[in-house]
C-alpha cells in the first residue's frame, strides 16, 4: 500500500511515523512539528471549555499552533503537562482527574507486566582536565522576530543534520550563509532574567546582547531545522537530533556577547573605485505628430519610429495611387458586325 502526503500539508511527517507512546507512562501521543520548527507531543482532542487556555494547542495542515481550533471548539494538550510520571502541582480539578486516570492506566499496565517505565541510565562522566579561562567554547545566538536559539558552536561551524543518501552519514554542508542575516543587538528577556544572577546579567550587558538576526521567516525555518540549502525541502530524515535549543539568559549567561563579532562582513566585489552615474543617456525622439516614442540609439533628424514609419509608407502609397492612377487598358473589344 502506498501512502502520499496531501498537497495542502505543510509537513512531511506521516501520522503513522508520528504516533508513539510515552516511554515514562505508556500513554499514546502524537508528535507534530510546531510553528517554530520544533516538535511537540500532543494528546487526542478535548473540548476546549474544560482546558486552561495556556494548555490549548491545535493542529492546522499538519503544524501545531497554540490556541483552540475555532472551527470545531476542540484542542489538544501537550503530553508533558499531564504525564502521570511527573508531579504537577496546582492543576485545575478537571485536569487533575485526567492525570489520575492516566496514572491508574499506567499502574495497571505495570502490574500486568505489559509496560516497564524508562529509567534514565546513570552515566559516570570522567573528570575533564582543567582548561584555561581563555579556552571558553563559542556558542552563537541566532534570532528572528524575538525568538532566540543558541547553537552548539559558532554560526560558521553549524552543520546540516540531514542524512546523506549516498554515504548514509551526516551531511557535511554548513547551514551558515552571510547573505541571510547580520549581527544586531537584541534585547534580553527580563522576565527570564530573574534573581541575583539575572540582575547581574542585565547589569553587565545593559539589557542587550549581540545575536545573528535572520532576515526572513523562511530562512529562519531552515536554520531552526538545521538544514542546508540542498536538504531544506528534502524528505531525508535527520541523522542526529537538532542541536539548536531555546536561549535562556541564566543557563547560557556565559555565552552572552557584549561586543559585535568581527569577520562576518561581506567583501565587496569591486576594487574600491567610485563609479559616477550621470543619469540616462540622451534619447532620440520620434518626429511623428503626437508620438512620444524614443530610442537610445542616435539617428539623423528627423527620425520616425517603426509605427510612424509604417503609417507614413501607407500614406505615401495612397497618395501615389490618387496622383498617378493606373494607365487605361483601352476600350473593350467590340462584337463583330454581322
Residue 264 in any domain: the answer is no
* Same-domain check for residues 237 and 145: yes
Count of structural domains within the chain:
3
10 compared with 182, residue with greater pLDDT:
182
Residue 302 in any domain: the answer is yes
Residue 262 in any domain: the answer is no
- How many Å is the Cα radius of gyration of the chain? 36
Residue 69 in any domain: the answer is yes
Query: Closest by alpha carbon to 248, among 139, 150, 137, 154?
Result: 150
Q: Collect all residues with Cβ–Cβ distance below 8 Å to 93 and sequence separation of at least 6.
A: none
* Same-domain check for residues 92 and 195: no
Give per-residue pLDDT as tens, 275-285.
666 656 677 88
* Same-domain check for residues 163 and 201: yes
* Same-domain check for residues 33 and 72: yes
Give per-residue pLDDT as tens, 145-198.
888 999 989 888 888 988 888 888 888 888 988 888 899 999 998 888 888 888
Q: Collect all residues with Cβ–Cβ distance below 8 Å to 9 and sequence separation of at least 6.
A: 61, 62
C-alpha cell at 243: 542541536
* Same-domain check for residues 99 and 164: no
* C-alpha pair distances (Å), 107 with each of 88, 191, 219, 269: 17, 39, 46, 68
270 compared with 72, residue with greater pLDDT:
72
Query: Closest by alpha carbon to 26, among 120, 115, 121, 119?
Result: 115
Question: pLDDT band at 242, cuts 50/70/90?
Answer: confident
Residue 286 in any domain: the answer is yes
Q: List own/partner pairs for 33-38 with CB under 8 A and 24 or more apart.
A: 33/62, 33/63, 33/64, 34/63, 34/64, 34/65, 35/63, 35/64, 35/65, 36/147, 36/224, 37/221, 37/224, 37/225, 38/224, 38/242
Distance CA 28, CA 70 (A): 25
Q: Which range marks the domain in which residue 303 is found?
A: 278-310
12 compared with 110, residue with greater pLDDT:
110
* Same-domain check for residues 246 and 151: yes
Give per-residue pLDDT as tens, 70-119.
888 899 999 999 999 988 888 888 899 999 999 999 999 999 889 998 88
Contact indicator for 174, 186 with CB cutoff of 8 Å:
no
Amino acid at each position: 500500500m502506498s501512502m502520499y502526503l496531501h498537497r495542502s500539508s505543510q509537513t512531511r511527517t506521516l501520522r503513522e511515523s508520528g504516533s508513539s507512546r510515552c516511554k515514562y507512562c505508556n500513554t499514546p501521543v502524537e508528535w507534530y512539528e510546531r510553528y517554530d520548527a520544533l516538535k511537540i507531543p500532543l494528546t487526542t482532542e478535548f473540548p476546549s471549555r474544560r482546558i486552561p487556555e495556556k494548555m490549548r494547542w491545535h493542529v492546522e495542515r499538519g503544524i501545531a499552533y497554540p490556541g483552540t481550533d475555532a472551527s470545531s471548539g476542540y484542542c489538544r494538550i501537550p503530553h508533558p503537562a499531564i504525564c502521570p510520571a511527573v508531579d504537577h502541582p496546582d492543576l485545575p480539578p478537571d485536569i487533575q482527574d485526567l492525570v489520575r486516570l492516566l496514572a491508574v492506566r499506567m499502574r495497571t499496565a505495570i502490574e500486568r507486566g505489559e509496560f516497564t517505565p524508562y529509567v534514565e541510565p546513570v552515566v559516570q562522566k570522567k573528570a575533564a582536565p582543567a582548561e584555561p579561562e581563555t579556552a571558553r567554547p563559542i556558542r552563537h545566538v541566532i534570532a528572528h522576530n524575538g525568538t532566540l536559539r543558541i547553537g552548539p558552536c559558532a554560526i560558521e561551524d553549524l552543520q546540516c543534520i540531514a542524512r546523506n543518501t549516498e554515504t548514509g552519514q551526516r551531511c557535511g554542508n554548513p547551514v551558515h550563509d552571510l547573505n541571510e542575516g547580520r549581527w544586531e543587538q537584541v534585547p534580553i528577556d527580563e522576565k527570564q532574567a530573574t534573581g541575583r544572577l539575572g540582575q547581574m546579567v542585565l547589569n553587565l550587558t545593559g539589557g542587550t546582547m549581540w545575536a545573528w538576526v535572520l532576515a526572513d521567516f523562511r530562512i529562519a525555518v531552515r536554520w531552526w531545522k538545521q538544514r542546508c540549502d540542498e536538504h531544506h525541502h528534502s524528505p531525508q530524515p535527520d541523522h542526529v537530533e537538532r542541536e539548536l535549543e531555546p536561549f535562556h539568559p541564566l543557563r547560557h549567561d556565559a555565552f552572552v556577547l557584549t561586543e559585535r563579532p568581527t569577520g562576518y562582513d561581506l567583501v565587496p566585489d569591486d576594487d574600491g573605485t567610485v563609479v559616477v552615474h550621470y543619469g540616462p543617456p540622451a534619447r532620440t525622439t520620434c518626429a511623428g505628430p503626437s508620438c512620444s516614442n524614443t530610442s537610445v540609439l542616435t539617428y539623423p533628424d528627423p527620425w520616425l519610429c517603426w509605427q510612424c514609419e509604417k503609417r507614413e509608407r501607407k500614406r505615401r502609397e495612397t497618395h501615389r495611387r490618387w496622383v498617378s492612377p493606373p494607365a487605361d487598358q483601352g476600350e473593350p473589344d467590340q462584337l463583330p458586325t454581322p
